[in-house]
Amino acid sequence: MVDEKTLRDAVKKTVGRKDVKYVVGYDKGTTGFQAAPTFAYEEKDAEKFVFNPTCVNNLAVYPMLEDKPPLRKGEEPDTRKIGIVLKGCDSRAIVQIIQEKGLKREDVVIIGIPCTGVIDPKKLKVKFPGQHKSVEVKYDNDKFAVTVDGKTQKFSKDELMPEKCKECEYPTPIIHDILIGKEIKGVKKPDYKEIEGFEKKSLDDKWKNWEKEFDKCIRCYACRQACPMCYCKECMVEILDPQWVRRSVNLSENTAWNLLRAFHLAGRCISCGECERSCPMDIPLMKLNKKITKDIHEMFDYKAGVDAEAKPLLAMFKPDDPEEFIL
């Protein structure tokens, strides 16, 4: 359990620095089912910062969304750092972005929080449908204590956690400047049983499955917006000359979009699950990402976002890499 006073003191200290422009963290959401991202521009703003099981969002997306408008004549660019509150899985995104030189390590001040798991808002809303006056979720040893309209119920973590938490290998942020709480050692491993079972299906069955899923896609690009690794200045789906993907919402173009994005994340996906969580059509996008992650780990013994000093997978050459797949 995180001591919120310690967290707020760390935010005050960070935002009070002359070389920091703001700190992004979590505030209690409007419904209580999910925390909302919030910003501290001055020390008093730190009082609204929280950390609890509803802090699901991967805040690593924010440094890459930083708007840099054209400068007026004689105006100097704002080179101050961004402070950011990160869970263990989220820190892998920053590590990967640093590997890719999207950020420099000195660009960010990381307030790390060892995490024992968060809740899946969709699962929580199934348990408590409809509107409620107040919702509060707290850690209670190996359970989640959910208080709705004054009545408290306890649930096992497995019952409400997203799949990513059940397989989290890095509960403590890989890199941090300030650590709130004690380090938690990772003991879990990815579970590929579902992927292995899917691999055994015929090509026809696989296609029917994805045809059904991709046909639901409404091309809202919520997956792209929530993904910290989708930080290209201009996305290929918005380029009109040449036009790589048509804007039509049909099975053909939906398939092209989802497969292109999955391969764009090959060797880069840090398994935060934000794409799947944000999808309004409940497309199992992590099944696709996890298959590619599994293959990359087996072929190249590589995991994204675990070593800031390493080179990205597709920027490396190893003479001993397997070559059986090269035609």
Q: Closest by alpha carbon to 303, among 96, 105, 115?
A: 96
Residues listed for the chain: 327
| pLDDT score recorded for residue 75 | 84
Contact indicator for 300, 313 with CB cutoff of 8 Å: yes
The structure's pTM equals 0.90
User: Where along the chain do its domains lie?
Assistant: 4-66+79-179, 193-315
Please count the other Cβ atoms lying within 10 Å of the Cβ belonging to residue 288.
23
| pLDDT score recorded for residue 70 | 76
Contact indicator for 63, 107 with CB cutoff of 8 Å: yes
| pLDDT score recorded for residue 2 | 82
Please state whether beta strands 81-86 and 20-27 pair in parallel, antiparallel, or not at all (unpaired).
parallel
- Sites in the chain below the pLDDT cut of 50: none
| pLDDT score recorded for residue 325 | 63
**Cross-strand bridge partners of residue 160:** none
**Mean of the per-residue pLDDT values of the chain:** 91
- Provide DSSP, 226-288: H-TT---SS-GGG--SS-SS----SHHHHHHHHHHHHHHTTTT-----HHHHH-TT---HHHH
